[in-house]
Structure 1
């Protein structure tokens, strides 16, 4: 990683200073959202039951609304005419597939057995979390860290395809076959290709289609300059509004369980903290070694570290029940992931000056901040 010279860095210096107040204080807002969710979950009788009842075909409507609002602005910023520059990057694509579908599930399996050998329900829940690769929040983390938006869109789409094909197969392998080979306790998983495809279609398909149509129709009607300088700055902040809303809902749904079983939450949190840190650090190191440049290294790291918590929770509830330990482990997943990956956004921005980026996809004037 060679330091970037002053000429190259001029358009991109002082990234944190150029952030809006909402972005600079995001950890504070996340903390407020967490506290608000916990207070609502504990202080409003029956709120968690009501939120759980607002579903459509097994999908939580409040969580779906938050995720869709969160993802749309970022996907509206993607330059879809540049996706071919990503699909030709074999090092990036192969690295992402290996990290997400070989390293990630194996690492979570190892951490679950290492830290929770005496708690089979939580252990199984964590393994399910490790199998559900992220197709939602990673878009926001990548954008906040100034990663490659086009690369993120391609890798998330690739993960979604593999998720439909491989989730059930890997669930069977890591919960039943591998433990049997190792002489460990076996478990089962119950899911269907439609359940997984439904998650992909809702949480990726809808905002991706909306983002693509926004750019195509907006540029056709008023031109790229208007779209980049007028439209995107208006919709950009909604990504973080959607994120904060989703955090409030998640903690409100599980506030009672979290506060009534604090030691269980801590035990689940320890392997999750190790998992997110190792996956992000491993992805970042691999990208740096391969010379992917800052933007694509950042994208590789965040797509490797994130998980599709909505799918993991849905599978755990469908298989073991809403009050099961497996479901609680699935819920704790995003509660640890959100603050950890927010912190890693700032770590990535601090590391940015170490890179000479060979994949600068657009000058700063064409890439307004969210």
Structure 2
């Protein structure tokens, strides 16, 4: 078995110090927003699907290399696992929204605006950044792609209805003040098309085109190692811009940020660990377990922020809660990547041995190729 020091030595600088770079990117973004207050409005001047164009570019930059890695020929065999898809639907569209609703009401009973913002986050299932966390945790790219596609379809069909139910109907049942909620299916569909559809099509066409012209071996060993690092650079770029646009709010209301952060931290931890343990009990492989757990825990903060701003305004408490979402999600899910890899060694020894046998000479490839983070 290859030692940890040898693995670390062969990782790129970005891979080896990824947690540091993420926190630096967050700090740089907040600092830029404080030093240059006009940067937020400037970046937000042009929008695509309700999201700043520079951030939309960053999301594409981040997702394209990951989706170019997916072996689309294996999707049919993965899609036959009905138990996996059933578990994903249950976590994403039943447990997740109910858990976030419960945490928001339990911990923010006196803050209806922040509470509504958190509920919007809980309803927006992840279709973008989750692919990065899944890659880093060495989950299955094929399973993650299918679960994200499934979430996208349900997001288009269910987000508006569930938003109306949890924000307007349920509070009335509880005897509390309700909030009007109107978001069209087309608005959700545009978000899905832009943030998942375009990079998915680009990644699939890239793989099919190059494999046909240059062969599978060239694509896997020559092309992917070159394009792969772009995913992590795109992640850092996106984080800087996100926090630059909202840094002033984050710094000016620190106590409010902490109150919003608490239910988010609990949410990410509960969703991930419950999905991970149930997946293990159901007999899923580690790769399937990691993919299911990260898609269950992650959220589509781009959509939640866009909806909050569109319905309640950019200076609203709902929008602030949406902004705090990625502030907490980025470090929280990065920590869960390490937890996932730690659990892999202890709960999935057969998968560990299989990986060591299958890749004895390439155990320390870059994160860009295999998501190695240990």
TM-score when scaled to structure 1?
A: 0.93
Query: Does residue 49 of structure 2 align to residue 48 of structure 1?
Result: no
- Pick from 172, 180, 183: which aligns with 1:188? 180
Given that residues 19 and 369 in structure 1 are in contact (C-alpha distance below 8 angstroms), is that contact kept between their aligned partners in structure 2?
no
12-21 vs 279-288, greater mean Cα deviation? 12-21
Cα deviation, 1:206-246, whole Å, max 9, x if unaligned, reads 11001101110010111000000000000111100010011
CA shift in 2, pair 1:328/1:267, >3 Å: same
Q: After TM superposition, list the pairs within 5 Å mapping 1:1-370 onto structure 2.
A: 17=8, 19-56=11-48, 58-354=50-346, 355=348, 356-357=350-351, 363-364=358-359, 368-369=369-370
C-alpha RMSD of the superposition: 2.1
Change (3 A) 1:189 1:16: farther
C-alpha distance 79-289 of structure 1, shift in aligned 2 (>3 A) = same
Shift of 1:14: 8.4
1:57 and 1:302 map into 2 onto residues whose CA distance is 25
Mapped partners of 1:233, 1:130: distance in 2: 35
Contact 1:15 1:349 in 2 (8 A): no
- Structure 2: runs of 5 or more not aligned: none
SS in structure 2 at match of 1:45: coil
- Residue-pair matches, total: 360
CA deviation digits over 1:181-210, x for unaligned, max 9? 222231222211111000000000011001
Does structure 1 retain, via aligned residues, the 8 Å contact 2:164–2:182?
Answer: no
Name the CA distance, whole Å, in 2 between partners of 1:11 and 1:100.
Answer: 37
Equivalents in 1 of 2:264, 2:141: separation in Å? 26
Q: Aligned equivalents of 1:142 and 1:278: distance in 2?
A: 17
Change over 3 Å in CA distance of 1:152–1:57 after alignment to 2: closer
Q: Which runs of 5+ in 1 are unaligned?
A: 1-9
Q: TM-score, normalised by structure 2?
A: 0.92
1:63 and 1:250 in contact (8 A); partners too: yes
Displacement after TM superposition at 1:49 (Å): 1.3
Instruction: Name the CA shift for 1:26/1:334 in 2 (closer, same or farther; >3 Å).
Output: same
